[in-house]
Chain A
Amino acid sequence: MQHLLSPSIMRLVLPVLYAVVIVAVLPLMAGYIVLMERKVMADMQARLGPMRVGPHGLLQPIADAVKLLLKEDIIPEKADRLMFWLAPLVSVTMALLAYAALPIGPAFQIADLNIGLLFILAVSSLGIYGIVLGGWASNSHYSLLGALRSAAQLVSYETAAGLGLISALLLAGSLSMHDIVMAQYDQGMWFIFYVPIGFFIYMVGSIAETNRAPFDLPEAESELVAGYMTEYSGFRWSLYFLAEYANMIIVAGIATTLFLGGWLRPFAGYHDHMPGTSIELLDALPALLVFGVALYCLFLAPKQPVRIQKIVMALVGGLCLAIAGVLAGSLFASPAVLQGVHGAFWFLAKVFGYLYFFLWFRFTFPRYRFDQLMRLGWRFLIPLALVNLITMAIALLISREWGWSLRLTSILAIVVTLAVAMFLAKNDEVDSAVPVAESE
């Protein structure tokens, strides 16, 4: 196959293949994240969540997708047709474009740009246009107000999230995502342990950036109803929906790559062998885990009330069994294949772990008011991120110049930053207590 195509074309085939896989899998993954969200929400609220479509609601995303396709797609009469059509497209394309540099496995990366992280940030920040143009095109006062509010929120929290990321970049020394993960492998420590405050700031910034949880203000404002998405319906609305969940996965991917060691297995550097075989315990873990899930599904299958649900549960069990087989099989294959397959598993596991926090925040915290949200962003998060960046840089400098171990200096940096955070929080408290007088 190699000689058939010229090398320059050959260089394109693999990335295009990955791109097709990602674009195909993404809507399915977004659908199942929605299901995961509804199930976790139900679990936290002492109820069951969707149970009717498929066993334990497993076919719910497919049902939702079909519904959205069949729903009537209304365009408001005096709306700006070109913009109304263009806005969701902009949102979705920018969200999908950001996957180009996301390293899912050591090999599974569409394009290892040497400005990878910057590219993802730039492209995901273009998503604002989708929102603002959507709000404008719907020609209704409220959706415009909602659009401008979410745009303002996105812009201000991007700075905070960006500064949070830079503190991790200091350690990595390169913008390419692949090198960042390799840096964490070389230093033998995930960056979250060196710069946890940067991770915290990035998490809060990313939640605000994707308009979720305590910051999902534009949709939930009492008079804005659904913000910029009010006038959209049917498939067009699902494009926005897909863009939002794609953004969520990207944000989780960036956090995993930068702070949680991308596709690295926990204790990546630690090598021991189970007696008698060449397999390491930690490598076998994913296979065992998925195998356990498969057994549980097969165990549940006969107990499903409806026959169709029995079949679907059995299918799911079979699918998990297959994945477990692949994972186990790769144990015996060459290290490259092992790292590739397990890398993808660990990356996805961390992404879903990170998303679980998103969902957790959504169901415990009430919503911020818009001025509180802005105050938190500008008065607390951005100064804290700056301070964290400076202290981290100093810590790095000390460890390089005077040879102290980075762990020690980073702990000092964290203590200093926390002290500053306390100070910032205290005077932030005083301001927010008197909103009325302040603006007169």
Chain B
Amino acid sequence: MSDPRTTEPTNVSTTVLGADEIILNMGPQHPSTHGVLRVKLKLDGERVVDSECIIGYLHRGVEKIAEHRSYQQFAPYVDRMDYVAAVSNGLGYCEAVEKLLGTEAPIRARVVRTILTELQRIASHLLWLGTHALDIGALTPVFYCFREREEILKIFEKYCGARLTTHAFRIGGLQYETYDGFEQDVKRFCDDFVHRIDEYETLLTENRIWVGRTKGVGILSAADAIALGVTGPVLRASGVKWDLRKAMPYAAYDQYKFEVPTRETGDTYDRYVVRMEEMRQSRLICLQGIENIPTGPIMARIGKVLKPPPGEVYHSIEAPKGELGYYIVSDGTTQPYRVRVRPPSFINLQAFDKMARGSLVADVVAIIGTIDIVLGEVDR
């Protein structure tokens, strides 16, 4: 029996029972990896010693397709990347191309875009909360969250005919005028939603088992977060007060007052609190938005055939998962020469190894849930 392990443990830590390090494969077909993600964990007994994410199972080559489509034709592909927050994907792409063209959408279009994007943020966070709680064992929140998310999807369906991959915006503004009763629907949802969030809070926030399972799990310090390029709620939960909607306002965000929630320790519990607070803030933005949607045209004066002058542009928005950026290079033709998407889930997932190292196997499921990744966006 080796003496008490003061020395550096040998790579294969053989314990009395001969249980040396085992490699555990989670996924790609796994109930709680939120899609086709495969995680190879090296375990020393119950503790994770090393982890490696193997991705690419959902790679459809979106960036290659973009080089053979015109600017308008590529817009629907963008919804398929982060299929949980399709509206904000569309907003990012349309605004990037508008910047490339040097034009801007009219004020009415920008306001409606802001409202729909904030609704989409709530829907995305609701889906995250439901599946995250389900992974940790709470069976009930998922049904409440999906009930609210259904209301939002109904609004999208009434506005643009689709629920999930909506293709709601066009380059230069909006395709459809808001249906009459749009303001009332959003108002009714927002009024009802504030009570719903308190319902989730009572179920989870003070629940000793929930706190026990999430506090101190998957800690990511602010310095590590910035170094790893992590953005979005994960960054804000580590104590960095940075939100693109405040730092570089786009659409109509500069007209609305809202808070940017942050927490200090950057563990799973803090990310849960930050996202719950973000849902409340998004609700406030929607309410401010529908107070007065300015009248006016909904489409900028750009021709049917878009030929942006040669050059390049990088534009990014605050998607529910983090900074979603589009780097588009145009060569003067109707088809983009190169479209590069900066996927927040892909880069946030890179921080998984830093969070999972040293944690227990049961926490790996909670850590995957708390980063809130969508594999469509990770693999593109």
Contacts and interface: CB of A to CB of B under 8 A. Distances in A.
Given A366-B213, A439-B47, A45 B362 contact: no
Interface stretch (B95-103, B133-141, B308-316, B339-347): B133-141
Interface residues of A, number: 27
Interface in A288-306: none
Interface of B: 24, 26, 30-32, 46-47, 133, 135-140, 143-144, 147, 203-204, 207, 209-210, 212-213, 215-216, 358-365
Contacts, number: 77
A222 B26 contact: yes
B216 A45 contact: no
Contact of A435 (B143, B147, B204, B360): B360
A223 interface: yes
Interface stretch (A163-171, A335-343, A369-377, A416-424): A369-377
Contact of A364 (B203, B362, B364): B203
Nearest to B203: A364
A285 interface: no
B361 A371 contact: no
A360 B44 CA distance: 36
A366 B143 contact: no
B207 A46 contact: no
B358 A372 contact: no
A220 B213 CA distance: 14
Interface string A328-369: 000000000000000000000000000000000011111111
A278 B363 CA distance: 63
A41 B142 CA distance: 13
29 contacts: A44-B140, A45-B140, A45-B143, A220-B137, A222-B135, A222-B364, A223-B24, A223-B361, A362-B139, A363-B139, A364-B138, A364-B140, A364-B203, A365-B138, A366-B133, A366-B204, A366-B209, A366-B213, A367-B136, A367-B137, A367-B213, A368-B209, A368-B213, A369-B213, A369-B360, A372-B213, A433-B215, A433-B216, A434-B216
A77 B64 CA distance: 47
Contacts of A198: none
Contacts of B364: 222
A222 B32 contact: yes
Contacts of B135: 222
A44 B204 CA distance: 15
Given A45-B143, A214-B209, A436-B358, A366 B216 contact: no
A114 interface: no
Given A222-B30, A223-B24, A223-B26, A435 B137 contact: no
A47 interface: yes
A432 interface: yes
Q: Name, among A41, A46, A369, A436, the residue most crowded by chain B CB atoms within 10 Å (CB to CB).
A: A369
Contact of A47 (B138, B143, B203, B204): B143
A271 to B, nearest CB: 44
A436 B209 contact: no
Given A366-B207, A369-B360, 12 more contacts: A45-B144, A46-B147, A363-B140, A364-B138, A366-B133, A366-B136, A370-B360, A371-B46, A371-B360, A372-B212, A433-B215, A436-B216
Contacts of B136: 366-367
Contacts of A368: 209, 212-213
Contacts of B360: 369-371, 435
Contacts of A371: 46, 360
B147 A222 contact: no
A221 interface: yes
A369 B144 contact: no
A359 B360 CA distance: 28
Contacts of A369: 212-213, 360, 362-363
A45 B213 CA distance: 22
Contacts of B138: 364-366
A434 B265 CA distance: 14
